[in-house]
Chains A and B, each alone.
Chain A
Amino acid sequence: MNTQNAFLGIDVGSISTKAVIIDEGNKILAREYIWTEGNPIGAVKKLLGLLEKQFDKDAWKIVGVGATGSARRLVGAIVGATVVKNEITAHAVGTTAFHPEVRTILEIGGQDSKIILVENGIAVDYAMNTLCAAGTGAFLSSQARRLGIEVEDMGSYALQSTHPTMIAARCTVFAESDLVHKIQMGHPREDIIAGVCRAVASNYINNVGKGKKICSPVVFQGGVSKNIGVVRAFEDLLHCPVIVDENGHLMGAMGAAILAKRGLKRTVFDFSVENMDFVTRERNCGGCSNNCEVICVYRDGNLIDFWGNRCERGAAGH
């Protein structure tokens, strides 16, 4: 029986780790989504184990691996990725493959948020939050905890509200104190939750989306897109429908897999990494006043990659 080529894409974010396996026609063969829990290496190993179970190893052969997300370098080294790409490009590539007509991609993740403007299927402009993580998933989680509900349930609570509470959205720190004030004033809980969702959307439009022309069709993705309350808030603020793909949270991984497919490098990937032992060590170079922090990655005791050095002096030879 002939085996067909397949491609693996891994997206390791601050909060969650995502992976997909696709075939030549971008059809999803296996998908998984788990929490990173501050341990990217462990998360990837666990993720690969879960994927292996969904995947028919006799019919398909993985010939390319793409890594993206904030831990892309580390994970790329561990799985031997053929492509390591930043998450902005990966998201743009993944989304335009499924929604070729898209003009604006809104993306809100756990710690970052970005906007990508698309014309004729290619990204023409983008922006990413810079010094402040206001209005990202982390803010929603902490407010959900304050209100004593699961972050997953926020959306359904928000939809019950008819008069969302106005919450100062300029800055998360102020938003939080405003929120506490409104709770103590006696605003109903669903109105508060709807207000928080609205605050996230308007904070995003005023900060990340500032000065950008948001055209329809709009696709909204990232973990926060699973919150129907924020989706409704965006629709109200932008006066247009907002598309949420059921695989929206996997778009970064999809993009990475597609980039691996487009790339020229090919290596056969089996799932043996699951059983290998990976250790990372940080060392201060000390070769000059820069004092670069060099990260070394060891597989079963052997150095396989290092980074963080600004010059050859910091190269890890030992």
Chain B
Amino acid sequence: MKQQRKAALPRYGEYNCALKYIVEQGFEAQCVLPPPLSKRTLDLGAVNSPDLVCTPFKTLLGSMIEALENGADTIIMVPGACRLNYFAELQEQILRDLGYTFDFINLSLYNTGKMRDILRALKALNPRCSMVKAGKAFYEASQMVEHLDDTTSLYYRNCGFDPTGTYPKIYKKFIADMYAARSLAEIRTAYRTANDAFTDIPLKKPQDPIRIGIIGDYYTVMDPFSNLELEQKLADMGVEVHRLMNITNDMLRNSEKNKQVKIREFSEYSMGASSTADIWQAQNFAERGFDGLIQVKSACCMPETDIMPVLANLSQDYKIPVLYLTYDSQTSDVGLMTRLEAFYDMVEMRKKVAR
């Protein structure tokens, strides 16, 4: 029998657990996890990338190299709505030029929005595997993603108000459980356990806490390493942190249909990728009376740069301050802290006066 394939997806927030589930439970192949993102990942990526490409390209490439070093023989690359959709081909070529031998599954070639096309692409992992089984695993992994996103968003909303300091432990355990899960029952149990543990902690939250909404490009906003743990930093200041941008809201549930129509007042046409979703989310946060908005983007991210004037209009109409953060491959967070502290002070003083 042919040896099991060792497949890897470059690090993408904590979503690697879902791919691990599909690969192992659905296709009975092995999943190699690249090491957590680090300065080394970024350096490896940056030195082998075109200079002016966005940071997610470099991070993903670095993570692919680290996956290959960890013994992966098949690299899977996600599709995207911006130029991320073209990343895979270039990254594959760069890796081949570096001399690595591997198989490459480029999901952008199968990006039709239909599950069966994605499964067809992944079938290369194990051609003899049952598609019914794979389909089932795919569905279960999507449940995992929903649970992951729900728990993450609950975590960042509340962990700034946890007097016991156990929130991070519970969350860490939950993430570890997601990586270890082998069945839907295990996923659901871990989800319930974490949520029960969270609910058991009495929060010290003021009546009207400071609420900040975060929007931004698909990768940087969802990946704590890439945004220098922005959400945790804000939560530690005592902020209720909200982020609607995640895989669940943007792909699986997609509950908000016709976003483009809803934001007509601010932008008539889509500017691609996350632009429409971001404007809609910003408007949603503003209408709900949030105290501030933070836009997170990688340097050279075109759609996010394009929506900045729209956000400026929105900021004036709703009287909500917006902090624009641009990330490049820097790893020092001193400058970020200065800006966040100042933003927090400002928002807090505003709120005091409003009361």
| Chain A min CB distance to B210 (Å) | 15
Question: Which of A75-112 touch B at CB < 8 Å?
Answer: 85-89, 92
| Interface status of B299 (Cβ within 8 A of chain A) | yes
Q: In the docked arrangement, what's the CA distance between A224 and B334, Å?
A: 24
| Interface status of A205 (Cβ within 8 A of chain B) | no
Q: A211-B308, A211-B309, A289-B40 are in contact. Are A122 and B339 (CB under 8 A)?
A: no
Q: In the docked arrangement, what's the CA distance between A92 and B326, Å?
A: 23
Q: A131-B328, A213-B316, A291-B39 are in contact. Are A124 and B346 (CB under 8 A)?
A: yes
Q: In the docked arrangement, what's the CA distance between A127 and B321, Å?
A: 10
List of A residues within 8 angstroms of B353 by Cβ: 120, 122
Q: In the docked arrangement, what's the CA distance between A85 and B337, Å?
A: 11
Q: In the docked arrangement, what's the CA distance between A130 and B328, Å?
A: 10
- The bracket for how many chain B residues form the interface is 20 to 34
Assess whether B342 is in contact with A124, with CB atoms less than 8 Å apart: no
List of B residues within 8 angstroms of A210 by Cβ: 308, 312
Q: In the docked arrangement, what's the CA distance between A289 and B40, Å?
A: 8
Q: A131-B328, A211-B309, A289-B35 are in contact. Are A87 and B315 (CB under 8 A)?
A: no
Assess whether B299 is in contact with A86, with CB atoms less than 8 Å apart: no
| Interface status of A171 (Cβ within 8 A of chain B) | no
| Interface status of B324 (Cβ within 8 A of chain A) | yes
| Chain A min CB distance to B13 (Å) | 18
Question: Which of A117-145 touch B at CB < 8 Å?
Answer: 120, 122-128, 130-131
Assess whether B346 is in contact with A89, with CB atoms less than 8 Å apart: yes
List of B residues within 8 angstroms of A160 by Cβ: none
Assess whether A125 is in contact with B339, with CB atoms less than 8 Å apart: no
Question: Which of B313-355 touch A at CB < 8 Å?
Answer: 315-316, 319, 321-322, 324-326, 328, 334, 337-339, 341-343, 345-346, 349-350, 353
Q: In the docked arrangement, what's the CA distance between A289 and B299, Å?
A: 25
Q: Which of B321, B324, B341 contacts A124 (CB 8 A)?
A: B321
Q: In the docked arrangement, what's the CA distance between A70 and B321, Å?
A: 24
Q: In the docked arrangement, what's the CA distance between A120 and B353, Å?
A: 9
List of A residues within 8 angstroms of B209 by Cβ: none
| Chain A min CB distance to B320 (Å) | 9
| Interface status of A290 (Cβ within 8 A of chain B) | yes
Q: In the docked arrangement, what's the CA distance between A86 and B312, Å?
A: 24
Q: In the docked arrangement, what's the CA distance between A63 and B312, Å?
A: 42
Q: Which of B36, B312, B325 contacts A211 (CB 8 A)?
A: B312
Assess whether B38 is in contact with A89, with CB atoms less than 8 Å apart: no
Q: Which of B316, B321, B341, B346 has the most CB of A within 10 A?
A: B346
Assess whether A87 is in contact with B338, with CB atoms less than 8 Å apart: yes
Assess whether A86 is in contact with B326, with CB atoms less than 8 Å apart: no
| Chain A min CB distance to B348 (Å) | 10
Assess whether B342 is in contact with A130, with CB atoms less than 8 Å apart: no
Q: A87-B338, A211-B308, A289-B40 are in contact. Are A122 and B345 (CB under 8 A)?
A: no
List of B residues within 8 angstroms of A122 by Cβ: 346, 349-350, 353
Assess whether A89 is in contact with B35, with CB atoms less than 8 Å apart: no
| Chain A min CB distance to B30 (Å) | 23
List of A residues within 8 angstroms of B39 by Cβ: 289-291
Assess whether A86 is in contact with B345, with CB atoms less than 8 Å apart: yes
Assess whether B324 is in contact with A123, with CB atoms less than 8 Å apart: no
| Chain A min CB distance to B64 (Å) | 17
| Chain B min CB distance to A186 (Å) | 36
Assess whether A88 is in contact with B338, with CB atoms less than 8 Å apart: yes
List of B residues within 8 angstroms of A291 by Cβ: 38-39
Q: In the docked arrangement, what's the CA distance between A212 and B313, Å?
A: 9
Assess whether A88 is in contact with B342, with CB atoms less than 8 Å apart: yes
List of A residues within 8 angstroms of B35 by Cβ: 289
Q: A211-B312, A289-B36 are in contact. Are A124 and B338 (CB under 8 A)?
A: no
Q: In the docked arrangement, what's the CA distance between A241 and B283, Å?
A: 35
Q: A92-B346, A120-B353, A123-B346 are in contact. Are A128 and B339 (CB under 8 A)?
A: yes
Assess whether B324 is in contact with A89, with CB atoms less than 8 Å apart: no
List of B residues within 8 angstroms of A126 by Cβ: 321, 342-343, 346
Q: Which of A86, A122, A125 has the most CB of B within 10 A?
A: A125
| Chain B min CB distance to A315 (Å) | 16
* Identity of the chain A residue whose Cβ is nearest the Cβ of B37 in the assembled complex: A289
Q: Which of A89, A124, A130 contacts B326 (CB 8 A)?
A: A130
Assess whether A89 is in contact with B345, with CB atoms less than 8 Å apart: yes
Q: In the docked arrangement, what's the CA distance between A70 and B309, Å?
A: 30
Q: In the docked arrangement, what's the CA distance between A211 and B324, Å?
A: 12
List of A residues within 8 angstroms of B309 by Cβ: 211
Q: In the docked arrangement, what's the CA distance between A92 and B349, Å?
A: 11
| Chain A min CB distance to B46 (Å) | 15
Assess whether B326 is in contact with A131, with CB atoms less than 8 Å apart: yes
18 new A-B contacts at CB < 8 Å, known A86-B342, A124-B321, A290-B39? A70-B334, A87-B342, A88-B345, A89-B341, A89-B346, A125-B315, A125-B321, A125-B346, A126-B346, A127-B324, A128-B342, A130-B326, A131-B299, A131-B326, A211-B308, A213-B316, A290-B38, A291-B38
A-B pairs with lowest CB-CB distance, top 8: A211-B312, A88-B342, A89-B345, A289-B38, A125-B321, A86-B341, A123-B346, A86-B338
